[in-house]
Amino acid sequence: MKYAVIDLGSNTIRLVVYEETNAKFHALFTQKFTAGLAAYLQDGMMTPEGIRLICTTLQRCKMLLKEFTPCTTLAFSTAPLRNIRNTQEAIDQIYAETGYSVDVLTGLEEAYLDYYGVQRELPVESGLLFDIGGGSTEILTFAHDGTGVIESVPIGSLNLSKKHIAKLFPDKKERDAIRLQVQKSLKRHKLNHLPPYETLCGIGGTARTVLQLLQAMKVILPAQRTFTAEQFRKLKKFLWKKDSAAMELLTQYCPDRLHTIFSGILILETLILQSRCTTVYVCKYGVREGYLRRYLMQQKKSAPTVNPDCA
């Protein structure tokens, strides 16, 4: 059985097609659309242009999915449709124009589904899981007996960049302003005094991009999924030079994140400092896999039982 999962995020809209066999699934196809939906917010509402962009992108997804019939399609949104005042109006219009019913996740749902998606690959028994998105950052602590603190903080790489950075490279004043807002937001959600964690586990585009940049700089091996706090500081120091070498690295390896990667790095920097961690593990999976796992479990629970005497 094939399942398509469409994830409407603040930075990107992603389509992933999975094949499920014997209660396990793997990705067959993935397509990323750079949307920047956080840029289409005005007075706390998604603009008509933003809704139209979502509809156009979903129509493109529908065309691509013709190659994978039969296929069950699931669509959900995180911060871009969650943090607006016209959520219902937007999802009604999306359904009317595309036929897709978009499930808008709460921040806590998103954080839990992050954990549910990576639960089987976590390299440690206890730690802190983070997902730095474009419009929000989810933070969750976990141990051998399950989850602990679960929070969704309304700061992300895209909304911070839009608010604080005038050009491509932020200057010292802009970096300090972002750090201050991140610290205040974490304090407001009582996340500024978490116990120390040796390893952080990262989900999302910022974590993957940092890993990719460190691999490109040959600071870590190509197949490596863990970097140290010291290696992260080397990357930050290299990028803060704002020279042609830094620009070449960024344009070659993350051209679609040029306008958001610095804010994402500053969020990650704060998490590393406050947790006093020594290593960061970047997960392969995340909220999309968690969403599909939950859906499959719900389908299994709702399936009618068969009486063997009547079979």
Alpha carbon distances (Å) from 298 to 24, 105, 160, 291, 293: 15, 16, 36, 11, 9
Tokens of residue 250, six digits = 């960024």
What integer is the mean pLDDT of 157-163?
A: 94
pLDDT tens figures, 170-210: 999 999 999 999 999 999 999 988 889 999 999 999 999 99
Residue 51: is its pLDDT beyond 80? Answer: yes
Confidence of residue 116 (pLDDT cuts 50, 70, 90): very high
- Residue 305 is predicted with a pLDDT of 53
Q: Please name each of the domains of the chain with its CATH number.
A: 2-104 (3.30.420.40), 121-285 (3.30.420.150)
pLDDT tens figures, 12-22: 999 999 998 88
Are 151 and 139 spatial neighbours (Cβ–Cβ below 8 Å)? yes
Residue 306: is its pLDDT beyond 90? Answer: no
Interatomic CA distance for residues 149 and 83, integer angstroms: 21
Return the H-helix or E-strand segment holding 198: none
- Residue 120 is predicted with a pLDDT of 87
Burial of 60 (0-12, 13-18, 19+ CB in 10 A): middle
Starting from the edge strand earliest in sequence, which strands make up the sheet with 24-34, in order?
Answer: 24-34, 12-21, 2-8, 72-77, 102-104
Q: What is the CA radius of gyration of the chain?
A: 20
Paired strand residues for 15:
6, 31
Residue, of 69 and 303, whose pLDDT is higher: 69
- Residue 304 is predicted with a pLDDT of 63
Residue 88: is its pLDDT beyond 50? Answer: yes
Residue 92: is its pLDDT beyond 90? Answer: yes
pLDDT tens figures, 54-70: 999 999 999 999 999 99
Q: How far is CA 63 from the centre of its chain?
A: 25
Interatomic CA distance for residues 241 and 122, integer angstroms: 34
Omega into 255 within 30° of 0, i.e. cis?
no
As a whole number, the mean pLDDT across the chain is: 93
- Residue 311 is predicted with a pLDDT of 37
Confidence of residue 303 (pLDDT cuts 50, 70, 90): low
pLDDT tens figures, 240-273: 999 999 999 999 999 999 999 999 999 999 999 9
> Looking at the whole model, is its pTM more than 0.75?
yes
Residue 78: is its pLDDT beyond 80? Answer: yes
SS3 of residue 200 by DSSP: strand
Are 288 and 5 spatial neighbours (Cβ–Cβ below 8 Å)? yes
What integer is the mean pLDDT of 91-115?
A: 97
For β-strands 279-282 and 226-228, DSSP reports them as antiparallel
Alpha carbon distances (Å) from 10 to 31, 137, 187: 16, 11, 23
